[in-house]
Structure 1
């Protein structure tokens, strides 16, 4: 076997050790929100609309809050690597301070987000939403808003455990939370076991409860881990202001990137919706398929990002550079297999979403699957690119690149191809593909230049 291929396989196995649990955890979280959606649908159409509105508001703020603490994993990985290299107590204290700062930042973001969630819940009626739906959504928002705090605490501890390369408990806890969430939904909605019948707000209360239980379970697991326990500190009052400022400076562009991406895809959905119900149904179905597969890229992105931070802390610039090729090769292999499935059995893939959606929606969705087979390569590549730049602590550069790719290239391309060229939904998706491809190329080029500068700077020292 050629040495290059042998090294790629070895690097792939190392990357997969961290990427697979993270990808499975992401997929399990998708199942968690899917469970809530199914339970809302069982209550009724109005409940689904109101609950869906509450979830959109909650998920937007949750996503941006998660972005604020995402860089914690990179900082922990780098500090832990320095501690292992020099057996430095100062490095271990740095990890403790990063944990304290991340929990403080999560608390501040969670409290602000909870207040903002309630305010948005009252304001959306001015944006043309049905007043009855908004009134039904408000109690759900009141029940879900406190859940932002344990949700972000969980994310802070999650980034800590992943940065320390101990992600095993994450998957177990997330899978268990699906079953607990389903049970709590049923009990709180229907009022079984002597509890009051809460109806739709019961789903919001179940969500908050599951986030709180998940945080406690992950914290307890970390406390039992002999490698994690010595550096796990909840003494947030001891946080160094400089550490809090550093995490905020790194996390704010990530939160903005996540918010920008979510906003871009929301605008694309609005563009498609102008072509009719069948077009929007087709878009929703194919977009959900892409979103599910995208979780694999998220796992690879986080694993590669943490790997870059760790290797750079150890002075292994060449190893950090190889992570780009390894992550992209793994993503391409998975996307190729998925793409073949899209192209060979499109109706089978779409049946769970559009079985009763009519021939029009199915025909449009089949066309979109052809675009998705190519689009998902670039979607995964741009997500990996963002993660690689995060490994370089270049979160601002990643945000600027995504603004260009999404809004200055992708949105105009979608508008031109969809409306001016008359390609309708297919044109919008081709524009979406163009934006993602541009973003991927620019992100990977920026990483290549950044890691190249580091390689050049370290060459004389190595000599």
Structure 2
């Protein structure tokens, strides 16, 4: 029996449905089959955070406001790490397309290294969150409560990043359903942990926001251990031996992950940071505005999970075509994903316009008098959020297609300009100078997203003229 690379090729070759297709219909089918478990997994992942937000609302508006501040600070850091580590996805996909399975193993191991290093740095940066909130003009009570959550929840960076590396490994092979099942398990573990630790049920102490933070870290650890066990014992993936000689450095691959991943992380941070900055602006308006913003943002974030999942599939599909040096496959994979993601957001746009009261009532009880102001504000914010559903879906999927080409640096600069040079100033002017309040702030978000969507689509359209398709690098 042969050993080494030939064994890997026999055992872990990707599914037959994954290679770039010949016809548009085949590409639609292949992209859909790859994307739908990722989409549902993203929705399920968002359900973890949604569970936290809903249960924070059960504690009361002040807990919801403080929890929103905490998650708004954590999100840019978390998304930066996720974006950086997501670099392993196109690297794996291109390697599989070129049938270089040894590189997949190297990328997985160095992905673990990068995950641990980045997680340690990020935890240190947000550990003293109370000082950050006070400098940003938040109330001492909200700042203190938010830090209580972060001190426990920040540790989830370690298992969450490690989970992402293995998720990319399975996704690159078209095995996305396992990710979905594990994430669904995580929803129930998180809900049970919140119920026990936030409210003091089943004999546990009532820890309120700190309990939510503990539950968040625990559920991510459980999910990582489950996906690790699956890969270690599955006959196809265990031949990668991802934990063997894990301590052995591979500096060229380590640096390559940072080279591709840093711009991705900065791009995601720029977008998430825009929403975090909007949350800070909402905090200046008042607690009711902040609570309403949390609800509208949560609704928009749930809708965003679908095109985000499609964008991950786009990265894999375009990366596979890139690895096989198939220019037509790149075109089909990219455009099919873009139309899928944008098309879905038409439905969420209509939902935000037609049933906003129903959506916001899931978060705050409309029968309670103290919730009325926040509920009315949330409905008005959703009306504005509906405006940018299409461009939000378009920009994230197109970004995924560009990442499949390992094109990350220029999109990073375009995103930073769109979000921070256009979006944030418009939010401030609309909210405070023109006295538009929360609606003015949300209009700024829409403006920033619209600019980024347009320039990303143009960049993918003229990808060959820009020299983005470079087969020599594979």
Return the alpha-carbon distance in structure 2 between the equivalents of residues 283 and 299 of structure 1: 24
Render the CA deviation track for 1:116-153: whole Å, top value 9, x for unaligned: 23233555445444445545555543433333211211
Name which of 304, 308, 321 aligns with 2:314.
304
Pairwise CA distance, 1:353? 4.7
Counterpart for residue 87 of structure 1: none
**1:373 matched to 2:389:** no
Counterpart for residue 204 of structure 1: 213
Return the alpha-carbon distance in structure 2 between the equivalents of residues 271 and 124 of structure 1: 12
**1:158 matched to 2:171:** no
Does the residue aligned with 1:450 lie in a helix, a strand or coil? coil
Counterpart for residue 384 of structure 1: 397
Return the alpha-carbon distance in structure 2 between the equivalents of residues 416 and 128 of structure 1: 18
Alignment of 1:403-442 (within 5 A): 403-418=416-431, 424-442=437-455
Return the alpha-carbon distance in structure 1 between the equivalents of residues 260 and 38 of structure 2: 21
CA contact (8 A) 2:307 2:342 kept: no
- Would you tell me which structure has more helix in proportion to its own residues? 1
Name which of 177, 187, 200 aligns with 1:168.
177
CA contact (8 A) 2:31 2:313 kept: yes
**1:223 matched to 2:236:** no
Does the residue aligned with 2:87 lie in a helix, a strand or coil? helix
Return the alpha-carbon distance in structure 2 between the equivalents of residues 199 and 337 of structure 1: 36
Return the alpha-carbon distance in structure 2 between the equivalents of residues 256 and 444 of structure 1: 19
**1:318 matched to 2:328:** yes
TM-score, reference length from structure 1: 0.85
In structure 2, relative to structure 1, the CA distance for the partners of 1:57 and 1:306 (3 Å cut) is: same
CA contact (8 A) 1:317 1:454 kept: no
Moved more, 358-367 or 17-26: 358-367
CA contact (8 A) 1:54 1:121 kept: no
- RMSD of aligned residue pairs (Cα, Å): 3.1
Counterpart for residue 14 of structure 1: 30
Render the CA deviation track for 1:155-214: whole Å, top value 9, x for unaligned: 111122112221111111111111112222333456666666655433322222211111
Return the alpha-carbon distance in structure 1 between the equivalents of residues 73 and 432 of structure 2: 29
Return the alpha-carbon distance in structure 1 between the equivalents of residues 156 and 253 of structure 2: 26
Pairwise CA distance, 1:16? 1.4
Return the alpha-carbon distance in structure 1 between the equivalents of residues 190 and 152 of structure 2: 14
Return the alpha-carbon distance in structure 2 between the equivalents of residues 353 and 45 of structure 1: 10
Moved more, 328-337 or 138-147: 138-147
Moved more, 411-420 or 285-294: 411-420
- How many residues were matched structurally? 446
Pairwise CA distance, 1:381? 0.9
CA contact (8 A) 1:31 1:178 kept: yes
CA contact (8 A) 2:391 2:450 kept: yes
Counterpart for residue 352 of structure 2: 342
Return the alpha-carbon distance in structure 1 between the equivalents of residues 210 and 287 of structure 2: 29
Name which of 437, 444, 449 aligns with 2:457.
444
TM-score, reference length from structure 2: 0.83
Consecutive unaligned residues in structure 1, runs of 5 or more: 1-5, 84-90, 459-463
Pairwise CA distance, 1:216? 0.6
Pairwise CA distance, 1:291? 1.5
Pairwise CA distance, 1:92? 1.6
